[in-house]
Amino acid sequence: MIAEDGFSMSGLLALLDDVAALAKLAASQVDDIAAHTAKAGSKAAGVVIDDAAVTPKYVHGLPAARELPIVWKIARASFFNKLVILLPVALLLSVFAPWLITPLLMLGGAYLSFEGAEKVWHLMHGHDQAAKKPETLDAAHLERERVAGAIKTDFILSAEIMTIALASIDAPDLWTRGAVLAVVAVAITALVYGTVALLVKADDIGLRLSQSGRLSATRALGQMMVKGMPTVLGIISTIGTAAMLWVGGSIIVHGLKDLGFPSIYTVIHDLAVSLSGGGGFGEWLVTATLDGILGLVVGLALMPVVKHLIVPVSAVFSSPKRRDTKA
């Protein structure tokens, strides 16, 4: 009996030891996931800012009651794109074709540089692409068109976010990479579209405060919110454009370095060190500025290629006649 009790006690202690070891392992993995998530999220910060800056324009001119439902439609599609489509593709790439990650990153960097340069070009020439095309559709058709355009843009930005996150994860096992990508996808999407929802409704909140606020200070705050939102959205758009050029240029520079062409990276690094005195925020600021200038140059160079080659070719493949012929 004593022997049996001793055996049971030793078995229980062994079990508790195993549980403790598993708990330590789980805690270690959670810490790893948290650390990798923070690193991956910070690397994708520029694209996140751009995503938040771009989205509010898709609800402009639509009924106020439809603003939040439209944001939710886009957010729901963004969750689906990241978690159901892009996450499995990213994991497959990391296992079977890791050499493709850098070229895909550079392709995304070129796209971001083009988008940023196009915005700068239109700003310098005093016209807006949206102004060229008057909205003649009814509200329902306009909403469907806007949502479809927003989802397409979000898919491209989401692919860039997931690729940047994947490239910054140095975890050896597939499960940790998958967990980090999933957390990044959910956190960034919630952050972006939560911010967008606040931005698009801020003027409505301000209007209500200005009209029904009990205190004069509350009404003054509401009026300030209504008057200030166009300026705030303009600042966010400018920051988004700068972030596009910075991130796009940085991705291209680091991609060239990883592919065995480190000259541009070395020049930018040496200039940043010499101009800033070495290290700290100054070096980062100079590096980001030079990366942004490079992104602008690349984007401007791509504009005629997109206009005269990519757009006509894509128009041929998406023309109604071609679809009718196939049908």
**Position 5 confidence tier, pLDDT thresholds 50, 70, 90:** low
Instruction: Select from 134, 175, 158, 12 the least CA-distant residue to 76.
Output: 158
Instruction: Select from 43, 28, 18, 20 the least CA-distant residue to 171.
Output: 28
Whether 80 shows a pLDDT value over 90: the answer reads yes
Q: Which residues are CB-neighbours of 245 under 8 A, at least 6 positions away? A: 112, 113, 116, 117, 120, 291, 292, 293, 295, 296, 299
Taking the C-alpha atoms of residue 240 and residue 246, their distance in angstroms, rounded to an integer, is: 10
127-150 mean pLDDT = 66
Taking the C-alpha atoms of residue 160 and residue 44, their distance in angstroms, rounded to an integer, is: 8
**Position 76 confidence tier, pLDDT thresholds 50, 70, 90:** very high
Taking the C-alpha atoms of residue 211 and residue 215, their distance in angstroms, rounded to an integer, is: 11
Taking the C-alpha atoms of residue 251 and residue 257, their distance in angstroms, rounded to an integer, is: 10
233-252 mean pLDDT = 84
Q: Which residues are CB-neighbours of 220 under 8 A, at least 6 positions away? A: 210
Instruction: Select from 158, 200, 180 the least CA-distant residue to 59.
Output: 200
Whether 16 shows a pLDDT value over 60: the answer reads no
Taking the C-alpha atoms of residue 71 and residue 60, their distance in angstroms, rounded to an integer, is: 12
* 139, 77 Cβ separation under 8 angstroms: no
Which amino acid type is present at position 1? M
State the average pLDDT for the chain: 77
Domain residue ranges in the chain:
33-326
DSSP letter at 125 equals: T
Taking the C-alpha atoms of residue 115 and residue 54, their distance in angstroms, rounded to an integer, is: 11
**H-helix or E-strand spanning residue 254:** helix 216-258
* 184, 40 Cβ separation under 8 angstroms: yes
* 247, 112 Cβ separation under 8 angstroms: yes
**Position 256 confidence tier, pLDDT thresholds 50, 70, 90:** very high
CA-to-CA separations, 168 to 56, 109, 274, in angstroms, rounded: 29, 15, 27
SS3 61: coil
What digits encode the pLDDT tens for the residues 278-320?
678 888 889 999 999 999 999 999 999 988 888 888 777 765 5
Q: Which residues are CB-neighbours of 11 under 8 A, at least 6 positions away? A: none
What digits encode the pLDDT tens for the residues 141-173?
877 888 888 888 788 778 878 888 887 777 777
- What pLDDT sits at residue 320? 53
Q: Which position has the higher pLDDT, 128 or 198?
A: 198
What digits encode the pLDDT tens for the residues 165-199?
887 777 777 888 888 888 888 888 888 888 888 88
